Amino acid sequence: MADPRAIVALVILLFIFFSPPPGQEPLVRARSRLEHVVTTEHHDLTILNQTRFGDFDPVQNKWLNMSGFREDDLFAWQALPLVKERARHQVAHALGHDNLARLGSGEDDRPALPLYRNVTGTMYGKWVRSPVQTSVVPPRLNMTEYSPVGPFGPIPVRSFNKNVTAKSGSLEVWFEEADTQETLLWHGDRRVAREVKAQISVGDAEAGDSWDSRLFGIHFLDTGNIMLATTTDKFAGIFALPHMALSDYNYHSAQRLLNRTLGMTIRDQEDGYLQSFSPWAPTPDGSSDSSPSPTCDLIVYLQQHLVPVPGVKPGPDQETLLSFIEQEIRFPTGASIPATQHIAFSMVAFSPDCGFVLESKGPPDFAPQEANHLRGLKLEVEYERARRHLLLFAAIMSGQLFFFLRQMRDASTPSTRSRISFYTISMLSLGDGFITMVLCLISLFIQALWVPLIATAFLAFMSVSFFGMRFLMDIWAVQAPERERRERQERQRIQQLAATTVAPPTIPSGTMENAPAQISTPSQMPVITAAGAETLPPPVTAPRPIDTGATPVFIPSDQDTQAEEDAPNTAATGVEAGQRAPGFGSLYTRFYFLLLVTLFLSLNATSWPPALRRGYFTILAFCYLSFWVPQIHRNCMRNCRHALRWDFVAGESLLRLMPFAYFYGYEQNVLFAAVDLIDLGVLAGWIWIQVLLLLSQEIIGPRWFVSGTWVPPAYDYHPILRDDEEANNLPIGATTSTPSPEQAKEAKDKGKRVFDCAICMHEIEVPVLNGESAAEGITTGSLVLERRKYMVTPCRHIFHSSCLEGWMKFRLVCPIDREELPPL
Ligand SMILES: *[C@@H]1O[C@H](CO)[C@@H](O)[C@H](O)[C@H]1NC(C)=O
Ligand SMILES: *[C@@H]1O[C@H](CO)[C@@H](O)[C@H](O)[C@H]1NC(C)=O
Ligand SMILES: *[C@@H]1O[C@H](CO)[C@@H](O)[C@H](O)[C@H]1NC(C)=O
Ligand SMILES: *[C@@H]1O[C@H](CO)[C@@H](O)[C@H](O)[C@H]1NC(C)=O
Ligand SMILES: *[C@@H]1O[C@H](CO)[C@@H](O)[C@H](O)[C@H]1NC(C)=O
Ligand SMILES: *[C@@H]1O[C@H](CO)[C@@H](O)[C@H](O)[C@H]1NC(C)=O
């Protein structure tokens, strides 16, 4: 019989294979639409080819016949001269006033400026409203003209998307410059301009969200000036971009370059090499029509700042050295080069239709300490850093694995394994599994870092699948009887409750151990079933099946002998006994299911607003870093002290905190995540509290912080020995093994007795409370540390703690009379 799940999976797969790709239109419509698009583009290109600098001048009422540049579009073009003035102001600040003239002409005998010629990379900074914003009136557009046409007529719009309403926020610009001759403009033997693609992400400090836009433009290589524009149906940005230039010279370079590259793109569209209807669409992935409602358009001016070249006096040498550095980091030959510097940019962004003007925050209007325009690294430098940090992370992973292996070797006997909390180890393994998946995923997108990413992922994968899972399986097997016992007790309690209470019983929620752990506990399953509405015990007034008085006949289950014992209680037990705790196989499934859910949720979270995203990841980190909590709980429930090696606890705590310290505390981390020392402090403090608790459990006692009624009774191996009438609990051998009368007398005077330890055959001197010393007021507090040194078995034999603990690693019977010992 086929598995229904397999059929569902098959149907989904078939659906995926045979459903048409989204956005595909009938061929005829696509054809006519393409013709329309290409006609418009040709028209715009002709205008680009035939106009001169100054043909677009809204102040003197000169317009272009292109969408967005006509008079009746009513855009805020009157502000363009102001915006250009701000851009020129930034050029002067970045390059110095003497170099402002370079914008005007390329024929210059002065040495080239020390600027990066390839700005591929990501820049980060903050934006503020420009000082000229106050003189820009947002245009009053006729919104009905821009309403997109839906299946049921035009959809009314109130305002455009990507409009900026806040006063300030974060800014991120990502550049990409292709290394082809087609997008490069030469002038003689000089490279003058190159086409550049950019993605700009504008964050809103008040609303906490952000939007992305993709822009195309020109990088003027001599001056480090960049002009960018969005292109949409209502705004032919890229075709009119040369008219935005700051000088006649820039206009001509831009016109020549764009005339060529735009012409090539249109030809590709006509020939069918390029499927896209709008190759310059502002959507981040370049797809067209993903959002039907109109968005604000942008014109962006960027100016690269001079790169400080250390150790070289200003002049032509600087430029030579810088271009050598640029060449060397891209194609390393092993030459020694000075440390590479940041790229810095200042920016002015102007939206003619929404009427906002933004600037990057920084000098001269703000102090450099407060904000310093846009800063970033060249892509190669950033990759190099990421590679180094990944190597460091791999070292941390190896360290974790090292401690883990030592712990595994240490816990090689059933007795030691049974002390370790299954959930602590699962959480550690879940963390490793998460790292494996994330690194594998990232490696798909960043080709340059594929090898280090995959190597680190493999290390994490090994630690989860070979060692983590193996250890979990061992612990699971050892703790199986314990789980069954707990289940049985749980069942019995429920039955008792059902029998004694009239009202439907309140079922105590699962034990605390289940709460922090992220895997739902199998041991809880029968409890849930019993608490479920369908199996609620009948009220007492309901007729009872046992009322007949005849001895009911039960057919005992073959598998579960305990079920036989339980059977006479109620008939329900027979049913429940069939539902045994799920095996390790189903646990395995749950483990990976939880892993995938966390992964997908986290992937989704990366697109949330920044504040929410940060909150999510901090909470996730907090849950993950709670991995000692299950162990503390287990110690407490079983009254055992020493489950894990101390180097394991210290090593794992420290090493697993490292990545968080990196992202929350190190400013130049690869993700450029903002430093947040408070969150880091909380995380570190939380780990520290857990380790302290573990330590105190070892020293003071596993249960010192809970009252006795909360936890199940457990045998206390370290009782305070008393020698008085009402509570005489002296171990066997107290009277017989006195070595010599004087010694014994002396010891007894100090409130001590001497015994023999049957394992190491040495003496053991223990403090004993008798009536007198109690009267003298010897506090039991001073005995807390003393009594850790000896252990008394339930059969009242006394041993050194170290001796008996060593013994109990291997056998859980008393070395003297072979009575069973409760686990430690
Ligand atoms: C561009 O203009 C020149 C004349 O200035 C003309 O010869 C040429 O055909 C035009 N090219 C296009 C693509 O319009
Ligand atoms: C603008 O271009 C369109 C389409 O080519 C044309 O119909 C219209 O007459 C032009 N307008 C002006 C003022 O030249
Ligand atoms: C807006 O445009 C629509 C058609 O495009 C027109 O009917 C309407 O009168 C215009 N509204 C205003 C206030 O100009
Ligand atoms: C953009 O927002 C401003 C307010 O900040 C508003 O005046 C303007 O009308 C909006 N523009 C569009 C096109 O939505
Ligand atoms: C700029 O650098 C990037 C990253 O190394 C490279 O992919 C790109 O081809 C380079 N572009 C140019 C024009 O050199
Ligand atoms: C634009 O390109 C065409 C050829 O595609 C050429 O004839 C024309 O002169 C160019 N115009 C400018 C202004 O460079």
Closest atom of ligand 5 relative to the 179 alpha carbon = 13
Per-residue pLDDT at 724: 66
Nearest-CA residue for ligand 2 atom 2 is 65
551 pLDDT band (50/70/90 cuts)?
Answer: very low
Structure-token pair, residue 62:
């000169």
Which percentage of the chain shows pLDDT scores above 70?
82
Q: Which of 259, 262, 266 to mutate to test the pocket of ligand 6 (most atoms within 8 A of CB)?
A: 259
Nearest-CA residue for ligand 1 atom 13 is 46
Amino acid in position 768? V
pLDDT for 609-639, tens place per residue?
778 888 999 999 999 999 999 999 998 888 7
Is 50 exceeded by the pLDDT of residue 555? Answer: no
Nearest-CA residue for ligand 4 atom 7 is 138
What average pLDDT does the segment 445-470 reach? 92
pLDDT for 243-277, tens place per residue?
999 999 999 999 999 999 999 999 998 888 887 78
Nearest-CA residue for ligand 4 atom 11 is 354
- CB of 179 closer than 6 A to ligand 5? yes
460 pLDDT band (50/70/90 cuts)?
Answer: very high
- CB of 788 closer than 6 A to ligand 2? no
Instruction: State the chain's mean pLDDT as an integer.
Output: 81
**Contact status, residue 467 vs residue 401, Cβ threshold 8 Å:** yes
In DSSP terms, 195 is beta-bridged to: 218
Per-residue pLDDT at 285: 62
Per-residue pLDDT at 289: 54
Determine how many CB atoms are found less than 10 A away from the CB of residue 725: 8
Q: Which of 495, 490, 487 is nearest to 570 (CA)?
A: 495
Nearest-CA residue for ligand 5 atom 2 is 120
Q: Which ligand is nearest to the Cα of residue 355, counting in written order? A: 4
What average pLDDT does the segment 702-731 reach? 72
Q: How far is the CA of 46 from the centre of ligand 5 (A)?
A: 31
pLDDT for 660-688, tens place per residue?
999 999 988 888 788 889 999 999 999 99
Q: How far is the CA of 824 from the centre of ligand 2 (A)?
A: 91
Q: Is the dihedral of CA 364, 370, 374, 376 positive or negative?
A: positive
- CB of 72 closer than 6 A to ligand 3? no
Structure-token pair, residue 396:
């941390």
Is 50 exceeded by the pLDDT of residue 546? Answer: no
Q: Which of 142, 146, 149 to mutate to test the pocket of ligand 3 (most atoms within 8 A of CB)?
A: 142
734 pLDDT band (50/70/90 cuts)?
Answer: low
Per-residue pLDDT at 780: 55
Is 60 exceeded by the pLDDT of residue 530? Answer: no
Q: Is the dihedral of CA 279, 284, 290, 296 positive or negative?
A: negative
Is 90 exceeded by the pLDDT of residue 356? Answer: yes
Q: How far is the CA of 121 from the centre of ligand 5 (A)?
A: 9
Range of lowest pLDDT (279-288, 386-395, 535-544)? 535-544
What's the Rg (C-alpha) of the chain? Answer: 38
| Strand 790-792 relative to strand 798-800, pairing | antiparallel
Q: What are phi and psi of 798, to 5 degrees?
A: -115, 140
- CB of 141 closer than 6 A to ligand 4? yes
Range of lowest pLDDT (15-24, 216-225, 512-521)? 512-521
Amino acid in position 611? A
Per-residue pLDDT at 523: 40
Per-residue pLDDT at 226: 96
Closest atom of ligand 3 relative to the 145 alpha carbon = 5
Q: Using alpha carbons only, give the angle 35, 41, 42 rounded to the nearest 5 degrees.
A: 90
pLDDT for 468-481, tens place per residue?
999 999 998 888 88
pLDDT for 37-90, tens place per residue?
999 999 999 999 999 998 999 989 899 999 999 988 889 999 999 999 999 999
Closest atom of ligand 5 relative to the 184 alpha carbon = 13
Q: Which of 65, 66, 72, 73 to mutate to test the pocket of ligand 2 (most atoms within 8 A of CB)?
A: 65
Per-residue pLDDT at 678: 93
Q: Which of 290, 318, 293, 277 is nearest to 110 (CA)?
A: 318
- CB of 159 closer than 6 A to ligand 4? yes
Per-residue pLDDT at 778: 52
Nearest-CA residue for ligand 6 atom 11 is 49
What average pLDDT does the segment 11-29 reach? 72
pLDDT for 409-442, tens place per residue?
988 888 888 889 999 999 999 999 999 999 999 9
Residue 70 to residue 58: CA distance in whole angstroms: 9
Range of lowest pLDDT (299-303, 424-428, 791-795)? 791-795
> What residues are in contact with ligand 1 under a 6 Å CB criterion?
45-46, 49-50
Q: How far is the CA of 65 from the centre of ligand 2 (A)?
A: 6
Q: Which of 145, 147, 163, 168 to mutate to test the pocket of ligand 4 (most atoms within 8 A of CB)?
A: 163
- CB of 43 closer than 6 A to ligand 2? yes
Q: What are phi and psi of 738, to 5 degrees?
A: -90, 120
Alpha helix positions (H), 552-702? 561-566, 572-578, 584-605, 610-624, 629-638, 646-665, 677-699
Q: Which ligand is nearest to the Cα of residue 46, counting in written order? A: 1
Per-residue pLDDT at 361: 94
- CB of 163 closer than 6 A to ligand 4? yes
Is 60 exceeded by the pLDDT of residue 746? Answer: no
Is 70 exceeded by the pLDDT of residue 560? Answer: no
Determine how many CB atoms are found less than 10 A away from the CB of residue 200: 25
pLDDT for 371-401, tens place per residue?
889 999 999 999 999 999 999 999 999 999 9
107 pLDDT band (50/70/90 cuts)?
Answer: low
Is 90 exceeded by the pLDDT of residue 11? Answer: no
Write out the DSSP string of 505-558: PPPPPPPGGGTTSSSPPGGGHHHHHHHSGGGPPPPTTSPPGGGG-SPPP----S
Q: How far is the CA of 180 from the centre of ligand 5 (A)?
A: 9
- CB of 145 closer than 6 A to ligand 4? no
505 pLDDT band (50/70/90 cuts)?
Answer: very low
Residue/partner pairs of 792-797 with CB below 8 Å, 24 or more apart: 792/717, 792/718, 792/719, 792/721, 792/729, 792/731, 793/717, 793/819, 793/821, 794/715, 794/819, 794/821, 794/822, 795/732, 795/819, 796/729, 796/730, 796/731, 796/732, 797/731, 797/732, 797/733, 797/758
Closest atom of ligand 1 relative to the 46 alpha carbon = 14
Amino acid in position 58? P
Q: Which ligand is nearest to the Cα of residue 50, counting in written order? A: 1
563 pLDDT band (50/70/90 cuts)?
Answer: very low
Q: How far is the CA of 735 from the centre of ligand 6 (A)?
A: 114
